Structure 1
Protein backbone atom coordinates (compact mmCIF):
# COMPACT_ATOMS: atom_id res chain seq x y z
CA UNK A 1 0.00 0.00 0.00
CA UNK A 2 1.34 3.40 -0.97
CA UNK A 3 1.42 5.98 1.81
CA UNK A 4 1.06 9.73 1.38
CA UNK A 5 4.53 10.11 2.89
CA UNK A 6 6.39 7.59 0.67
CA UNK A 7 8.02 9.92 -1.84
CA UNK A 8 7.80 13.50 -0.65
CA UNK A 9 10.47 15.82 -2.08
CA UNK A 10 11.59 19.38 -1.48
CA UNK A 11 14.32 21.33 -3.30
CA UNK A 12 16.22 24.43 -2.25
CA UNK A 13 19.23 26.47 -3.41
CA UNK A 14 21.65 28.07 -0.95
CA UNK A 15 24.75 30.00 -2.04
CA UNK A 16 24.66 28.51 -5.57
CA UNK A 17 24.39 24.95 -4.20
CA UNK A 18 21.27 22.83 -4.68
CA UNK A 19 19.81 20.65 -1.92
CA UNK A 20 17.10 18.03 -1.77
CA UNK A 21 15.07 16.59 1.10
CA UNK A 22 13.36 13.32 0.24
CA UNK A 23 11.47 10.58 2.05
CA UNK A 24 12.52 7.99 -0.53
CA UNK A 25 14.01 4.94 1.18
CA UNK A 26 16.02 4.21 -1.96
CA UNK A 27 18.13 7.36 -1.53
CA UNK A 28 19.22 6.80 2.09
CA UNK A 29 22.98 6.25 2.33
CA UNK A 30 23.48 3.52 4.94
CA UNK A 31 27.15 4.49 5.43
CA UNK A 32 26.05 8.06 6.21
CA UNK A 33 23.53 6.81 8.80
CA UNK A 34 26.22 4.66 10.47
CA UNK A 35 28.61 7.61 10.46
CA UNK A 36 25.95 9.86 12.01
CA UNK A 37 25.28 7.25 14.70
CA UNK A 38 29.04 7.05 15.39
CA UNK A 39 29.28 10.83 15.87
CA UNK A 40 29.79 12.12 19.41
CA UNK A 41 26.97 14.58 18.71
CA UNK A 42 24.43 11.75 18.47
CA UNK A 43 25.26 10.56 21.98
CA UNK A 44 21.96 8.67 22.16
CA UNK A 45 22.81 6.43 19.20
CA UNK A 46 25.60 4.12 18.10
CA UNK A 47 26.31 2.24 14.87
CA UNK A 48 24.32 -0.96 14.40
CA UNK A 49 25.09 -4.29 12.76
CA UNK A 50 23.93 -4.26 9.12
CA UNK A 51 20.90 -6.49 9.78
CA UNK A 52 19.68 -4.23 12.60
CA UNK A 53 20.23 -1.10 10.52
CA UNK A 54 18.13 -2.65 7.74
CA UNK A 55 15.26 -3.29 10.18
CA UNK A 56 15.58 0.24 11.61
CA UNK A 57 15.45 1.90 8.19
CA UNK A 58 12.72 -0.40 6.84
CA UNK A 59 10.50 0.47 9.79
CA UNK A 60 11.14 4.22 9.79
CA UNK A 61 10.34 7.17 7.61
CA UNK A 62 13.65 8.90 7.04
CA UNK A 63 13.88 12.36 5.59
CA UNK A 64 17.28 12.45 3.92
CA UNK A 65 18.98 15.79 3.31
CA UNK A 66 21.18 15.68 0.20
CA UNK A 67 23.54 18.05 -1.56
CA UNK A 68 23.15 17.85 -5.33
CA UNK A 69 26.53 17.35 -6.98
CA UNK A 70 26.53 18.24 -10.69
CA UNK A 71 28.63 15.92 -12.81
CA UNK A 72 31.92 17.16 -14.13
CA UNK A 73 32.01 17.30 -17.91
CA UNK A 74 33.57 14.14 -19.27
CA UNK A 75 35.76 13.96 -22.33
CA UNK A 76 33.87 12.85 -25.43
CA UNK A 77 36.40 10.10 -26.06
CA UNK A 78 35.35 8.35 -22.83
CA UNK A 79 31.68 8.35 -23.83
CA UNK A 80 30.34 5.55 -25.96
CA UNK A 81 26.71 4.64 -26.41
CA UNK A 82 27.27 1.17 -24.94
CA UNK A 83 29.28 2.27 -21.87
CA UNK A 84 27.74 0.85 -18.70
CA UNK A 85 26.74 3.31 -15.99
CA UNK A 86 26.81 2.71 -12.29
CA UNK A 87 23.32 3.38 -10.94
CA UNK A 88 23.22 6.27 -8.49
CA UNK A 89 20.56 8.41 -6.88
CA UNK A 90 19.77 11.44 -9.01
CA UNK A 91 17.63 14.49 -8.42
CA UNK A 92 15.58 14.46 -11.62
CA UNK A 93 16.43 11.20 -13.30
CA UNK A 94 19.48 12.96 -14.70
CA UNK A 95 22.40 10.53 -14.44
CA UNK A 96 24.81 13.47 -14.52
CA UNK A 97 23.74 14.64 -11.05
CA UNK A 98 24.74 12.78 -7.88
CA UNK A 99 23.35 13.11 -4.38
CA UNK A 100 25.57 13.31 -1.32
CA UNK A 101 23.72 12.74 1.94
CA UNK A 102 24.56 15.46 4.45
CA UNK A 103 21.72 15.11 6.95
CA UNK A 104 18.66 13.23 8.12
CA UNK A 105 15.66 13.22 10.41
CA UNK A 106 14.07 9.88 11.24
CA UNK A 107 10.40 9.39 12.09
CA UNK A 108 9.02 6.34 13.83
CA UNK A 109 5.41 6.42 12.75
CA UNK A 110 2.27 4.56 11.75
CA UNK A 111 1.93 7.08 8.85
CA UNK A 112 -1.52 7.97 10.08
CA UNK A 113 -1.93 9.22 13.67
CA UNK A 114 1.38 9.31 15.57
CA UNK A 115 5.01 10.16 14.88
CA UNK A 116 8.15 10.20 16.99
CA UNK A 117 10.94 12.42 15.63
CA UNK A 118 14.47 11.21 16.36
CA UNK A 119 18.01 11.09 14.94
CA UNK A 120 18.05 14.63 13.57
CA UNK A 121 21.59 15.15 12.32
CA UNK A 122 23.39 17.39 9.82
CA UNK A 123 27.10 17.31 9.02
CA UNK A 124 28.85 20.17 10.85
CA UNK A 125 30.00 21.91 7.63
CA UNK A 126 26.36 22.42 6.58
CA UNK A 127 24.86 23.71 9.83
CA UNK A 128 25.13 27.43 9.16
CA UNK A 129 23.17 27.48 5.91
CA UNK A 130 19.62 27.29 7.34
CA UNK A 131 19.33 23.67 6.25
CA UNK A 132 18.40 22.42 9.74
CA UNK A 133 15.38 24.71 9.91
CA UNK A 134 14.45 23.67 6.40
CA UNK A 135 14.75 19.96 7.26
CA UNK A 136 12.47 20.47 10.28
CA UNK A 137 10.01 22.43 8.12
CA UNK A 138 9.95 19.42 5.78
CA UNK A 139 9.25 17.20 8.82
CA UNK A 140 6.32 19.45 9.70
CA UNK A 141 4.94 19.16 6.16
CA UNK A 142 5.36 15.39 6.42
CA UNK A 143 3.29 15.40 9.62
CA UNK A 144 0.65 17.45 7.79
CA UNK A 145 0.53 14.79 5.04
CA UNK A 146 -0.62 12.19 7.58
CA UNK A 147 -4.41 12.25 7.38
CA UNK A 148 -5.37 11.64 11.01
CA UNK A 149 -2.36 13.01 12.93
CA UNK A 150 -3.06 13.16 16.67
CA UNK A 151 0.34 13.80 18.20
CA UNK A 152 4.02 14.08 17.40
CA UNK A 153 6.74 13.43 19.97
CA UNK A 154 10.44 13.98 20.40
CA UNK A 155 13.05 13.90 23.14
CA UNK A 156 15.48 16.82 23.17
CA UNK A 157 17.79 18.89 25.35
CA UNK A 158 16.03 21.32 27.67
CA UNK A 159 18.38 24.18 26.76
CA UNK A 160 18.66 24.57 22.99
CA UNK A 161 16.42 21.82 21.61
CA UNK A 162 13.33 22.78 23.58
CA UNK A 163 13.42 26.36 22.24
CA UNK A 164 14.28 25.27 18.68
CA UNK A 165 11.52 22.64 18.33
CA UNK A 166 9.04 24.86 20.12
CA UNK A 167 9.71 27.63 17.62
CA UNK A 168 10.05 25.49 14.47
CA UNK A 169 7.39 22.81 15.11
CA UNK A 170 5.09 24.47 17.65
CA UNK A 171 5.89 21.73 20.21
CA UNK A 172 5.71 22.17 23.97
CA UNK A 173 6.94 20.37 27.04
CA UNK A 174 4.64 17.52 28.03
CA UNK A 175 4.94 18.83 31.61
CA UNK A 176 2.62 21.66 30.52
CA UNK A 177 -0.13 19.02 30.19
CA UNK A 178 0.49 17.35 33.54
CA UNK A 179 -3.20 17.34 34.50
CA UNK A 180 -4.07 15.20 31.46
CA UNK A 181 -0.87 13.50 30.36
CA UNK A 182 2.16 11.76 31.81
CA UNK A 183 5.14 10.98 29.63
CA UNK A 184 6.77 7.73 30.75
CA UNK A 185 9.96 6.06 29.62
CA UNK A 186 12.25 3.14 30.24
CA UNK A 187 15.87 3.56 29.22
CA UNK A 188 18.41 0.85 28.74
CA UNK A 189 21.39 0.10 26.58
CA UNK A 190 22.58 -3.27 25.41
CA UNK A 191 26.22 -3.93 24.81
CA UNK A 192 26.54 -7.01 22.61
Structure 2
Protein backbone atom coordinates (compact mmCIF):
# COMPACT_ATOMS: atom_id res chain seq x y z
CA UNK A 1 0.00 0.00 0.00
CA UNK A 2 1.42 3.39 -1.03
CA UNK A 3 1.42 5.73 1.96
CA UNK A 4 0.06 9.15 1.00
CA UNK A 5 -2.40 11.60 2.52
CA UNK A 6 -5.44 9.87 0.99
CA UNK A 7 -4.25 6.53 2.36
CA UNK A 8 -3.83 8.06 5.80
CA UNK A 9 -7.39 9.43 5.64
CA UNK A 10 -8.64 6.00 4.55
CA UNK A 11 -6.89 4.22 7.43
CA UNK A 12 -8.06 6.83 9.94
CA UNK A 13 -11.63 6.41 8.70
CA UNK A 14 -11.28 2.64 8.90
CA UNK A 15 -10.09 2.89 12.50
CA UNK A 16 -12.86 5.32 13.48
CA UNK A 17 -15.66 3.27 11.91
CA UNK A 18 -14.22 0.03 13.29
CA UNK A 19 -14.36 1.56 16.78
CA UNK A 20 -17.93 2.68 16.20
CA UNK A 21 -18.87 -0.85 15.18
CA UNK A 22 -17.09 -2.35 18.18
CA UNK A 23 -18.77 0.04 20.63
CA UNK A 24 -22.17 -0.65 19.05
CA UNK A 25 -21.59 -4.39 19.43
CA UNK A 26 -20.52 -4.05 23.05
CA UNK A 27 -23.57 -1.93 23.77
CA UNK A 28 -25.60 -4.96 22.62
CA UNK A 29 -23.38 -7.22 24.79
CA UNK A 30 -22.10 -9.35 21.91
CA UNK A 31 -19.22 -11.77 22.48
CA UNK A 32 -15.66 -10.94 21.28
CA UNK A 33 -16.22 -12.62 17.91
CA UNK A 34 -19.36 -10.53 17.41
CA UNK A 35 -17.45 -7.36 18.34
CA UNK A 36 -14.79 -8.07 15.72
CA UNK A 37 -17.38 -8.85 13.03
CA UNK A 38 -19.27 -5.64 13.84
CA UNK A 39 -16.01 -3.70 13.64
CA UNK A 40 -15.60 -4.92 10.06
CA UNK A 41 -19.15 -4.00 8.94
CA UNK A 42 -18.91 -0.18 9.04
CA UNK A 43 -15.19 -0.10 8.27
CA UNK A 44 -15.40 -1.88 4.89
CA UNK A 45 -19.11 -1.78 3.95
CA UNK A 46 -19.33 1.59 2.20
CA UNK A 47 -15.96 1.32 0.46
CA UNK A 48 -16.73 -2.17 -0.83
CA UNK A 49 -20.05 -1.11 -2.40
CA UNK A 50 -18.40 2.00 -3.88
CA UNK A 51 -15.59 -0.01 -5.48
CA UNK A 52 -18.01 -2.56 -6.95
CA UNK A 53 -20.16 0.22 -8.45
CA UNK A 54 -17.22 1.97 -10.14
CA UNK A 55 -15.55 -1.30 -11.16
CA UNK A 56 -12.43 -0.76 -9.06
CA UNK A 57 -11.79 -4.43 -8.31
CA UNK A 58 -10.76 -6.19 -6.20
CA UNK A 59 -12.26 -3.95 -3.51
CA UNK A 60 -9.69 -1.90 -1.61
CA UNK A 61 -9.52 -3.89 1.62
CA UNK A 62 -8.77 -7.13 -0.25
CA UNK A 63 -5.66 -5.58 -1.77
CA UNK A 64 -3.74 -5.15 1.48
CA UNK A 65 -3.40 -6.53 4.97
CA UNK A 66 -3.06 -3.17 6.69
CA UNK A 67 -6.80 -2.43 6.60
CA UNK A 68 -7.65 -5.79 8.17
CA UNK A 69 -4.99 -5.25 10.83
CA UNK A 70 -6.33 -1.78 11.66
CA UNK A 71 -9.87 -3.13 12.07
CA UNK A 72 -8.81 -6.00 14.33
CA UNK A 73 -6.60 -3.65 16.36
CA UNK A 74 -9.50 -1.21 16.82
CA UNK A 75 -11.83 -4.02 17.95
CA UNK A 76 -9.30 -5.39 20.44
CA UNK A 77 -8.50 -1.91 21.76
CA UNK A 78 -12.21 -1.21 22.28
CA UNK A 79 -12.64 -4.46 24.22
CA UNK A 80 -9.54 -3.85 26.36
CA UNK A 81 -10.79 -0.42 27.44
CA UNK A 82 -14.44 -1.47 27.75
CA UNK A 83 -14.20 -1.96 31.52
CA UNK A 84 -13.24 1.71 31.95
CA UNK A 85 -16.19 3.02 29.96
CA UNK A 86 -19.61 3.51 31.51
CA UNK A 87 -21.50 4.34 28.34
CA UNK A 88 -20.67 3.44 24.75
CA UNK A 89 -23.25 5.60 22.94
CA UNK A 90 -21.33 8.95 23.19
CA UNK A 91 -18.14 7.32 21.90
CA UNK A 92 -20.06 5.56 19.16
CA UNK A 93 -21.44 8.91 17.97
CA UNK A 94 -18.03 10.65 18.07
CA UNK A 95 -16.19 7.94 16.13
CA UNK A 96 -19.13 7.51 13.76
CA UNK A 97 -19.09 11.25 12.97
CA UNK A 98 -15.32 11.20 12.47
CA UNK A 99 -15.55 8.14 10.22
CA UNK A 100 -18.34 9.82 8.26
CA UNK A 101 -16.12 12.81 7.51
CA UNK A 102 -13.03 10.77 6.68
CA UNK A 103 -14.79 8.25 4.45
CA UNK A 104 -16.81 10.93 2.64
CA UNK A 105 -13.53 12.53 1.56
CA UNK A 106 -12.10 9.15 0.50
CA UNK A 107 -15.17 8.52 -1.67
CA UNK A 108 -15.00 11.98 -3.25
CA UNK A 109 -11.28 11.68 -3.98
CA UNK A 110 -11.77 8.23 -5.51
CA UNK A 111 -14.50 9.63 -7.75
CA UNK A 112 -12.16 12.41 -8.87
CA UNK A 113 -9.40 9.87 -9.58
CA UNK A 114 -11.80 8.01 -11.89
CA UNK A 115 -12.82 11.19 -13.70
CA UNK A 116 -16.41 11.48 -12.48
CA UNK A 117 -18.21 14.87 -12.32
CA UNK A 118 -18.77 16.60 -8.95
CA UNK A 119 -22.33 15.31 -8.46
CA UNK A 120 -21.23 11.69 -8.85
CA UNK A 121 -18.18 12.27 -6.66
CA UNK A 122 -20.38 13.62 -3.87
CA UNK A 123 -22.72 10.64 -4.26
CA UNK A 124 -19.75 8.28 -3.96
CA UNK A 125 -18.64 10.18 -0.87
CA UNK A 126 -22.07 9.86 0.74
CA UNK A 127 -22.21 6.16 -0.14
CA UNK A 128 -18.74 5.53 1.28
CA UNK A 129 -19.49 7.48 4.43
CA UNK A 130 -22.99 6.21 5.14
CA UNK A 131 -23.44 2.64 3.92
CA UNK A 132 -21.12 1.02 6.45
CA UNK A 133 -23.04 2.56 9.32
CA UNK A 134 -26.30 1.38 7.79
CA UNK A 135 -24.90 -2.15 7.55
CA UNK A 136 -23.74 -2.02 11.18
CA UNK A 137 -27.14 -0.89 12.45
CA UNK A 138 -29.10 -3.39 10.33
CA UNK A 139 -26.98 -6.29 11.61
CA UNK A 140 -27.69 -5.12 15.17
CA UNK A 141 -31.42 -4.82 14.39
CA UNK A 142 -31.38 -1.04 14.90
CA UNK A 143 -33.00 1.53 12.65
CA UNK A 144 -29.94 3.17 11.00
CA UNK A 145 -29.02 6.72 12.00
CA UNK A 146 -29.34 7.60 8.33
CA UNK A 147 -33.11 7.01 8.39
CA UNK A 148 -34.36 8.22 11.74
CA UNK A 149 -31.81 10.25 13.68
CA UNK A 150 -30.49 13.78 13.38
CA UNK A 151 -28.89 15.09 10.19
CA UNK A 152 -26.51 12.39 8.92
CA UNK A 153 -26.26 11.98 5.15
CA UNK A 154 -26.95 15.71 4.85
CA UNK A 155 -23.72 16.38 6.76
CA UNK A 156 -21.86 14.29 4.19
CA UNK A 157 -23.52 16.20 1.34
CA UNK A 158 -22.66 19.55 2.96
CA UNK A 159 -19.04 18.48 3.22
CA UNK A 160 -19.01 17.39 -0.42
CA UNK A 161 -20.48 20.67 -1.61
CA UNK A 162 -17.97 22.52 0.56
CA UNK A 163 -15.15 20.49 -0.99
CA UNK A 164 -15.92 21.59 -4.53
CA UNK A 165 -16.71 25.16 -3.46
CA UNK A 166 -13.37 25.52 -1.67
CA UNK A 167 -11.59 23.73 -4.51
CA UNK A 168 -12.91 26.26 -7.02
CA UNK A 169 -11.61 29.00 -4.71
CA UNK A 170 -8.12 27.54 -5.07
CA UNK A 171 -7.63 25.98 -1.63
CA UNK A 172 -4.64 23.64 -1.38
CA UNK A 173 -5.66 19.96 -1.60
CA UNK A 174 -4.43 18.71 1.78
CA UNK A 175 -5.94 21.67 3.63
CA UNK A 176 -9.12 21.26 1.59
CA UNK A 177 -9.53 17.66 2.76
CA UNK A 178 -8.90 18.54 6.39
CA UNK A 179 -11.36 21.45 6.34
CA UNK A 180 -14.12 19.38 4.77
CA UNK A 181 -13.57 16.44 7.13
CA UNK A 182 -13.89 18.81 10.09
CA UNK A 183 -16.94 20.46 8.50
CA UNK A 184 -18.74 17.12 8.24
CA UNK A 185 -17.67 16.10 11.75
CA UNK A 186 -18.88 19.30 13.39
CA UNK A 187 -22.15 19.45 11.43
CA UNK A 188 -22.88 15.89 12.51
CA UNK A 189 -21.93 16.47 16.16
CA UNK A 190 -23.93 19.72 16.32
CA UNK A 191 -26.90 17.85 14.85
CA UNK A 192 -26.57 15.27 17.64
CA UNK A 193 -26.13 17.93 20.32
CA UNK A 194 -29.03 20.15 19.23
CA UNK A 195 -31.22 17.47 17.62
CA UNK A 196 -31.17 19.02 14.18
CA UNK A 197 -33.16 16.99 11.70
CA UNK A 198 -34.88 17.26 8.36
CA UNK A 199 -38.55 18.30 8.48
CA UNK A 200 -40.92 15.42 9.20
CA UNK A 201 -44.07 14.94 7.12
CA UNK A 202 -45.94 13.30 10.00
CA UNK A 203 -46.55 14.48 13.55
CA UNK A 204 -47.80 11.40 15.37
CA UNK A 205 -47.12 7.65 15.10
CA UNK A 206 -50.81 7.06 14.33
CA UNK A 207 -50.39 9.08 11.15
CA UNK A 208 -47.83 6.64 9.69
TM-score normalised per structure 1:
0.31
Higher RCO structure (Cα 8 Å, ≥6 apart): 2
TM-score normalised per structure 2:
0.29
* Higher strand proportion (structure 1 or 2): 1
